[in-house]
């Protein structure tokens, strides 16, 4: 005889939707059951002889929270003691200042933004529209559950991917309502173009204050991190220079390999570059500070080239002192520094090549942006 699992479930399992009320001896018994079964917030329960709902019981540790008020609103309709709570608090236990229509509108606009390329693509920027409106966490989840379709185009997104997208939506929402993204949400670039959004004034003040605090803390952390990073890199570089052989020292004058960690050409290499330039230009006429700016600019350029190569999976090429000098010549041309034996109207081929090369790299940079 073939086993019919549906009949077995109908006979032996209790459906939560059919339960009118679940009794618990005390809070500990409720917590143990809830951890295993995850009841809906609207499920009627009796804890220690008191009628309530699962949502209210879960939030009872903080009666001033929006989550508690939202859950109590459901309970007051279903359990019937809403008037008692209103008298005790002295005000209506509403979940947020938004009307039901406003909640639907805010979430509807958000859901439209979440749908991308045939599936739901959640992000802090998109979901923040719900958060800044002042809608409670509980209401936000309920409205999203009612409106969102994790297969928006009906293209057959797998159940697994739908589950993952839903999990990510809830993760971002939970962190957002915990205030973890206030710095990002308060950023002027994120705020731009949101003038038509509904914003709760009191919440907006808290977001700004918390966001500024988070930004200051992050800035302080970055400062410590980069100071430590530069210190470690300098020590690493000093150790490397200390242990070089005479052959390596001689080679360092003519060639240097930029990389993610080697972003500044060594002194002997720079001195050799100046010697190459001195043959064609009178460097005594070049301002030392301006010369240093040119060398730093060339360092930045060749370091950027090396990093691009590494990211693309290619080996970064070694930069010769001659090519480094050629790159600096374009700065000379821009500043009107003339070669010793050439007219200003006949710039060298190397300068022209350097200009073309630089223009190509600038165009590549624009394409990446």
pLDDT score, position 89: 30
**pLDDT above 70 covers what percent of the chain?**
74
Q: Which of 155, 185, 209 is the last residue of a domain?
A: 209
Q: Is residue 226 part of a domain?
A: no
| 83 and 104 together in one domain | no
267-309 pLDDT per residue, tens? 889 999 999 999 999 999 899 999 999 999 999 999 988 888 8
pLDDT of 204 above 90: yes
Range of the domain at 271: 244-368
Q: Is residue 227 part of a domain?
A: no
pLDDT of residue 170: 95
* For residues 5-10, average pLDDT: 51
In terms of domains, do 151 and 80 share one? no
Same domain, 131 and 58: no
Tens-place pLDDT, residues 85-143? 333 333 333 346 789 999 999 999 999 999 998 999 999 999 999 999 999 999 999 99
Residue 222: inside a domain, yes or no? no
Output the pLDDT for position 272: 93
Q: Are residues 346 and 268 in the same domain?
A: yes
Total count of domains within the chain: 3
**Residues with Cβ within 8 Å of residue 78, at least 6 apart in sequence:** 42, 44, 53
Percent of the chain with pLDDT over 90: 42
Terminal CA-CA length for the chain: 67
User: Is 349 inside any structural domain?
Assistant: yes
Region 19-34: mean pLDDT is 74
Q: What would the mean pLDDT of 7-20 be, rounded to a whole number?
A: 46
Looking at residue 144, its pLDDT comes to 94
Q: Examine the domain organization and report whether 166 and 265 are in the same domain.
A: no
pTM, full prediction: 0.46
Neighbours of 298 (CB within 10 A): 22
Q: Which two tokens stand for residue 14?
A: 């209790």
User: Both 268 and 351 in a single domain?
Assistant: yes
Host H or E run for residue 23: strand 22-24
Instruction: Determine, yes or no, domain membership for 16.
Output: yes
Same domain, 290 and 363: yes
Residues 109/127, Cβ–Cβ less than 8 Å: no
Of 191, 190, 193, 184, the closest CA to residue 212 belongs to 184
Output the pLDDT for position 246: 85
What value, to the nearest 5°, has the Cα angle with vertex 70 and ends 146 and 213? 100
How many residues are present in the chain? 369
Give the pLDDT score at 21. 63
- Please list, in sequence order, all residues whose beta carbon lies within 8 angstroms of the beta carbon of residue 48, skipping any fewer than 6 positions away: 24, 25, 26, 27
pLDDT-derived band at 340 (thresholds 50, 70, 90) equals: confident
**186 band by pLDDT with thresholds 50, 70 and 90:** very high
Q: Do 321 and 359 belong to one domain?
A: yes
DSSP characters for 172-230?
HHHHHHTTTTHHHHHSHHHHTT-TTS---HHHHHHHHHHHHHHHHHHHHHHHHHHHHHH
Which residues does 365 contact at the CB level (< 8 Å), separation at least 6?
Answer: none
Instruction: Tell me how far apart the alpha carbons of residues 287 and 280 are, in angstroms, rounded to a whole number.
Output: 17
Domain boundary among 33, 54, 89: 89
Residues 83 and 187 in one domain: no
Looking at the fold, whether 175 and 145 belong to one and the same domain comes out as yes
pLDDT of residue 70: 54
Average pLDDT for the chain: 80
Task: Answer yes or no: do 250 and 361 share one domain.
Answer: yes
* Alpha carbon distance 106, 101 (integer Å): 9
Q: Tell me, yes or no, whether 228 lies in a domain.
A: no
Residue 141 lies in a domain: yes
* Mean per-residue pLDDT, 200-209: 94
In a domain, 230, yes or no: no
Same domain, residue pair 331 and 274: yes
């Amino acid at each position: 005889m073939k086993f019919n699992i549906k009949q077995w479930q109908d006979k032996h399992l209790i459906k939560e939707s059919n339960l009118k009320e679940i009794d618990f001896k005390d809070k500990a018994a409720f917590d143990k059951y809830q951890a295993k079964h995850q009841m809906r917030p609207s499920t009627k329960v009796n804890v220690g002889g008191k009628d309530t709902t699962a949502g209210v019981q879960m939030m009872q540790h903080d009666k001033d929270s929006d989550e508690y008020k939202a859950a109590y609103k459901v309970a007051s309709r279903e359990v019937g003691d809403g008037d008692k709570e209103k008298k005790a608090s002295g005000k209506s236990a509403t979940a947020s200042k938004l009307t039901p229509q406003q909640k639907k509108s805010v979430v509807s606009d958000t859901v439209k933004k979440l749908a991308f390329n045939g599936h739901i693509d959640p992000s802090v920027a998109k979901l923040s529209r719900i958060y800044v409106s002042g809608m409670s966490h509980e209401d936000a989840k309920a409205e999203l559950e009612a409106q969102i379709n994790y297969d928006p185009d009906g293209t057959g997104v797998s159940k697994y991917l739908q589950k993952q997208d839903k999990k990510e939506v809830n993760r971002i929402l939970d962190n957002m309502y915990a205030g973890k993204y206030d710095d990002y949400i308060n950023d002027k670039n994120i705020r731009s173009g949101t003038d038509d959004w509904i914003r709760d004034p009191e919440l907006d003040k808290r977001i700004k204050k918390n966001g500024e605090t988070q930004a200051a803390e992050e800035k302080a952390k970055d400062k410590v991190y980069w100071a430590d990073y530069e210190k470690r890199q300098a020590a690493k570089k000093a150790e490397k220079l200390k242990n070089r052989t005479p052959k390596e020292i001689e080679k360092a004058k003519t060639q240097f390999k930029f990389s993610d960690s080697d972003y500044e050409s060594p002194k002997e290499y720079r001195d050799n570059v100046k010697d190459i330039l001195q043959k064609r230009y009178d460097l005594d006429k070049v301002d030392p500070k301006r010369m240093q700016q040119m060398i730093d600019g060339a360092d930045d350029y060749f370091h950027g080239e090396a990093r691009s190569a590494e990211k693309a999976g290619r080996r970064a090429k070694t930069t010769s002192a001659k090519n480094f000098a050629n790159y600096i010549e374009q700065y000379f041309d821009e500043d009107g520094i003339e070669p010793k034996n050439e007219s200003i109207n006949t710039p060298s081929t190397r300068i022209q090549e350097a200009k073309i090369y630089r223009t190509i790299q600038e165009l590549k940079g624009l394409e990446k942006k």
